[in-house]
Amino acid sequence: MTIIVNGSNTPTAGAVGYGDGTNLAFTSAGTTGQFLSSNGSSAPSWVGAPASAMTLISTQTANNSSQLIQWTGLSGYNSYLIILKNLTPSSNDAYQLLIGTGAGPTYITTGYNWNGLYNYNGGSVSSLNSSNQAKIFFAGAFNNNVASSGGGASGNIMIQNPSSGYLVAQCQTTFFTGTSNVYESDLIYGSISSANTITAIKIQTTNGANLASGTASLYGISS
Protein backbone atom coordinates (compact mmCIF):
# COMPACT_ATOMS: atom_id res chain seq x y z
CA MET A 1 0.00 0.00 0.00
CA THR A 2 1.28 3.43 -0.92
CA ILE A 3 0.39 6.50 1.14
CA ILE A 4 0.85 9.86 -0.55
CA VAL A 5 1.10 12.88 1.71
CA ASN A 6 1.04 16.36 0.26
CA GLY A 7 2.89 19.20 1.91
CA SER A 8 6.16 19.47 3.72
CA ASN A 9 5.05 20.82 7.07
CA THR A 10 7.25 19.85 10.00
CA PRO A 11 5.42 19.33 13.30
CA THR A 12 6.65 20.77 16.56
CA ALA A 13 6.78 18.53 19.62
CA GLY A 14 3.25 18.03 20.95
CA ALA A 15 1.52 19.09 17.71
CA VAL A 16 -1.34 17.07 16.22
CA GLY A 17 -1.78 16.38 12.53
CA TYR A 18 -4.96 17.22 10.61
CA GLY A 19 -6.07 17.54 7.02
CA ASP A 20 -6.67 21.03 5.65
CA GLY A 21 -8.37 19.74 2.49
CA THR A 22 -5.18 19.67 0.46
CA ASN A 23 -2.24 18.92 2.70
CA LEU A 24 -1.40 17.29 5.98
CA ALA A 25 -1.04 20.17 8.43
CA PHE A 26 -0.22 20.36 12.12
CA THR A 27 -1.54 22.31 15.05
CA SER A 28 0.73 24.20 17.39
CA ALA A 29 1.65 22.47 20.62
CA GLY A 30 -0.90 22.87 23.37
CA THR A 31 -0.17 23.48 27.02
CA THR A 32 -0.55 21.04 29.89
CA GLY A 33 -4.18 20.20 30.62
CA GLN A 34 -5.66 21.58 27.39
CA PHE A 35 -7.99 19.65 25.09
CA LEU A 36 -8.14 19.64 21.29
CA SER A 37 -11.44 21.10 20.08
CA SER A 38 -12.93 20.61 16.62
CA ASN A 39 -13.76 23.69 14.57
CA GLY A 40 -15.60 21.81 11.84
CA SER A 41 -13.74 22.03 8.52
CA SER A 42 -11.30 24.60 9.94
CA ALA A 43 -8.15 23.80 11.86
CA PRO A 44 -8.75 22.34 15.34
CA SER A 45 -7.59 24.39 18.30
CA TRP A 46 -6.43 23.84 21.86
CA VAL A 47 -8.85 24.89 24.60
CA GLY A 48 -8.85 24.83 28.38
CA ALA A 49 -10.48 22.01 30.29
CA PRO A 50 -14.25 22.47 30.67
CA ALA A 51 -15.43 23.65 34.06
CA SER A 52 -16.69 20.85 36.27
CA ALA A 53 -20.23 21.10 37.61
CA MET A 54 -19.18 19.23 40.77
CA THR A 55 -16.10 20.24 42.76
CA LEU A 56 -14.56 18.38 45.69
CA ILE A 57 -14.29 20.92 48.52
CA SER A 58 -12.53 18.57 50.94
CA THR A 59 -12.50 15.06 52.38
CA GLN A 60 -12.28 14.81 56.16
CA THR A 61 -11.07 11.70 57.93
CA ALA A 62 -12.34 10.82 61.41
CA ASN A 63 -9.49 10.16 63.86
CA ASN A 64 -11.29 9.57 67.19
CA SER A 65 -10.41 13.06 68.45
CA SER A 66 -13.77 14.81 67.94
CA GLN A 67 -17.50 14.13 67.87
CA LEU A 68 -18.01 16.26 64.76
CA ILE A 69 -16.92 17.02 61.22
CA GLN A 70 -17.66 20.46 59.79
CA TRP A 71 -17.03 22.64 56.77
CA THR A 72 -17.04 26.44 57.09
CA GLY A 73 -16.60 29.39 54.73
CA LEU A 74 -18.86 27.85 52.08
CA SER A 75 -20.14 29.96 49.18
CA GLY A 76 -20.83 30.01 45.46
CA TYR A 77 -22.62 26.70 44.93
CA ASN A 78 -26.20 25.81 44.01
CA SER A 79 -26.19 22.65 46.12
CA TYR A 80 -23.89 20.42 48.16
CA LEU A 81 -23.33 16.66 48.24
CA ILE A 82 -21.79 14.83 51.21
CA ILE A 83 -20.56 11.27 50.66
CA LEU A 84 -20.05 9.20 53.80
CA LYS A 85 -17.80 6.15 53.77
CA ASN A 86 -17.70 3.85 56.81
CA LEU A 87 -18.16 6.72 59.29
CA THR A 88 -17.88 4.92 62.63
CA PRO A 89 -18.50 6.25 66.18
CA SER A 90 -16.27 5.32 69.11
CA SER A 91 -19.38 3.94 70.86
CA ASN A 92 -22.86 3.25 69.55
CA ASP A 93 -24.46 6.57 68.64
CA ALA A 94 -26.71 8.36 66.13
CA TYR A 95 -25.70 11.06 63.62
CA GLN A 96 -27.24 14.47 63.05
CA LEU A 97 -26.86 17.35 60.60
CA LEU A 98 -26.80 21.08 61.36
CA ILE A 99 -26.62 24.09 59.04
CA GLY A 100 -24.61 27.24 59.80
CA THR A 101 -24.79 30.82 58.52
CA GLY A 102 -22.57 33.89 58.71
CA ALA A 103 -18.84 34.25 59.24
CA GLY A 104 -18.87 32.77 62.76
CA PRO A 105 -20.56 30.55 61.78
CA THR A 106 -23.79 30.52 63.75
CA TYR A 107 -25.46 27.11 63.63
CA ILE A 108 -29.24 26.95 63.38
CA THR A 109 -30.58 24.98 66.37
CA THR A 110 -34.34 25.22 65.90
CA GLY A 111 -36.95 24.90 63.18
CA TYR A 112 -35.77 21.76 61.38
CA ASN A 113 -38.53 19.57 59.98
CA TRP A 114 -37.89 16.04 58.79
CA ASN A 115 -39.60 12.80 57.91
CA GLY A 116 -38.52 9.52 56.49
CA LEU A 117 -38.42 5.76 56.46
CA TYR A 118 -36.20 3.20 58.13
CA ASN A 119 -35.83 -0.50 57.47
CA TYR A 120 -33.63 -3.25 58.82
CA ASN A 121 -33.16 -6.72 57.43
CA GLY A 122 -35.71 -9.05 58.89
CA GLY A 123 -38.01 -6.18 59.86
CA SER A 124 -40.71 -4.11 58.18
CA VAL A 125 -40.41 -0.61 56.77
CA SER A 126 -41.43 2.04 59.31
CA SER A 127 -42.03 5.77 58.95
CA LEU A 128 -41.61 8.73 61.26
CA ASN A 129 -41.69 12.51 61.23
CA SER A 130 -40.74 15.38 63.47
CA SER A 131 -41.09 19.17 63.39
CA ASN A 132 -39.38 22.22 64.91
CA GLN A 133 -36.29 20.27 65.93
CA ALA A 134 -32.78 21.38 66.89
CA LYS A 135 -31.16 19.28 64.14
CA ILE A 136 -31.87 16.74 61.41
CA PHE A 137 -31.25 13.15 62.49
CA PHE A 138 -30.06 11.19 59.51
CA ALA A 139 -28.63 7.87 60.77
CA GLY A 140 -29.39 5.76 63.78
CA ALA A 141 -32.00 7.88 65.50
CA PHE A 142 -35.00 5.65 64.95
CA ASN A 143 -34.66 1.97 65.70
CA ASN A 144 -30.96 1.33 66.29
CA ASN A 145 -27.83 3.44 66.69
CA VAL A 146 -24.84 3.24 64.36
CA ALA A 147 -22.61 0.58 65.92
CA SER A 148 -18.98 1.15 66.83
CA SER A 149 -18.14 -2.03 64.91
CA GLY A 150 -19.14 -3.48 61.57
CA GLY A 151 -18.13 -0.74 59.16
CA GLY A 152 -19.99 2.35 60.37
CA ALA A 153 -22.42 4.33 58.22
CA SER A 154 -22.13 4.85 54.48
CA GLY A 155 -24.37 6.90 52.21
CA ASN A 156 -24.95 10.41 50.91
CA ILE A 157 -26.60 13.69 51.86
CA MET A 158 -27.79 16.14 49.20
CA ILE A 159 -28.38 19.73 50.38
CA GLN A 160 -30.31 21.90 47.93
CA ASN A 161 -31.00 25.64 47.70
CA PRO A 162 -28.26 26.81 50.12
CA SER A 163 -28.39 30.48 49.08
CA SER A 164 -31.68 31.37 50.81
CA GLY A 165 -35.27 30.36 51.27
CA TYR A 166 -36.45 26.81 51.85
CA LEU A 167 -33.52 24.44 52.18
CA VAL A 168 -34.00 20.70 51.60
CA ALA A 169 -31.70 17.88 52.69
CA GLN A 170 -32.07 14.33 51.36
CA CYS A 171 -30.17 11.73 53.39
CA GLN A 172 -29.63 8.05 52.57
CA THR A 173 -27.51 5.90 54.89
CA THR A 174 -26.96 2.24 55.71
CA PHE A 175 -25.16 0.99 58.81
CA PHE A 176 -24.56 -1.96 61.14
CA THR A 177 -26.65 -1.83 64.32
CA GLY A 178 -24.49 -3.99 66.56
CA THR A 179 -26.98 -6.86 66.56
CA SER A 180 -25.75 -9.94 64.71
CA ASN A 181 -26.29 -9.56 60.95
CA VAL A 182 -28.71 -6.63 61.39
CA TYR A 183 -28.19 -3.62 59.12
CA GLU A 184 -30.48 -0.61 59.01
CA SER A 185 -31.17 1.74 56.10
CA ASP A 186 -32.52 5.24 56.74
CA LEU A 187 -34.05 7.54 54.14
CA ILE A 188 -34.65 11.02 55.56
CA TYR A 189 -35.96 14.24 54.03
CA GLY A 190 -35.22 17.35 56.08
CA SER A 191 -35.99 21.02 55.56
CA ILE A 192 -35.58 24.41 57.18
CA SER A 193 -36.47 27.97 56.23
CA SER A 194 -33.55 30.37 56.40
CA ALA A 195 -33.24 33.91 55.09
CA ASN A 196 -29.44 33.66 55.24
CA THR A 197 -27.01 31.93 52.91
CA ILE A 198 -25.52 28.68 54.19
CA THR A 199 -21.84 29.05 55.04
CA ALA A 200 -21.27 25.93 57.16
CA ILE A 201 -22.34 22.30 57.46
CA LYS A 202 -21.80 20.14 60.53
CA ILE A 203 -22.10 16.38 61.06
CA GLN A 204 -21.96 15.24 64.68
CA THR A 205 -22.90 12.40 66.99
CA THR A 206 -26.02 12.77 69.12
CA ASN A 207 -24.73 11.59 72.49
CA GLY A 208 -21.10 12.71 72.34
CA ALA A 209 -19.25 9.69 70.96
CA ASN A 210 -16.15 10.59 68.97
CA LEU A 211 -16.03 9.87 65.24
CA ALA A 212 -13.50 7.05 65.37
CA SER A 213 -12.87 6.29 61.71
CA GLY A 214 -14.19 6.71 58.17
CA THR A 215 -14.45 9.69 55.84
CA ALA A 216 -16.89 12.42 54.81
CA SER A 217 -16.37 14.19 51.48
CA LEU A 218 -18.14 17.46 50.64
CA TYR A 219 -18.75 18.41 47.00
CA GLY A 220 -20.06 21.73 45.75
CA ILE A 221 -22.39 21.60 42.73
CA SER A 222 -22.55 24.75 40.62
CA SER A 223 -25.36 23.85 38.25
Query: Quick one: 180 exposed, middle or buried, by C-beta within 10 A (0-12, 13-18, 19+)?
Result: exposed
Delineate the domains of the chain, giving CATH numbers in brackets: 1-50 (no CATH), 54-221 (2.60.120)
pLDDT of residue 7: 55
Q: Which helix (H) or strand (E) holds 60?
A: strand 54-61
Q: Which helix (H) or strand (E) holds 213?
A: strand 211-221
pLDDT of residue 144: 82
Distance separating alpha carbons of residues 128 and 115, to the nearest angstrom: 6
pTM: 0.79
pLDDT of residue 2: 46
Given a contact cutoff of 8 angstroms between Cβ atoms, the answer to whether 132 and 112 are in contact is yes
| pLDDT over 70 (residue 52) | no
Tell me the pLDDT tens digit for each residue of 137-174. Answer: 999 877 689 999 999 999 999 999 998 889 999 999 99
Alpha-carbon dihedral angle through residues 83, 89, 93, 94, given to the nearest 10 degrees:
-10
CA-nearest of 202, 193, 184, 9 to 104 is: 202
| Mean confidence (pLDDT) of the chain | 89
Tell me the pLDDT tens digit for each residue of 11-42. Answer: 788 788 877 788 888 888 888 767 888 888 88
Higher pLDDT, 111 or 5: 111
pLDDT of residue 50: 60
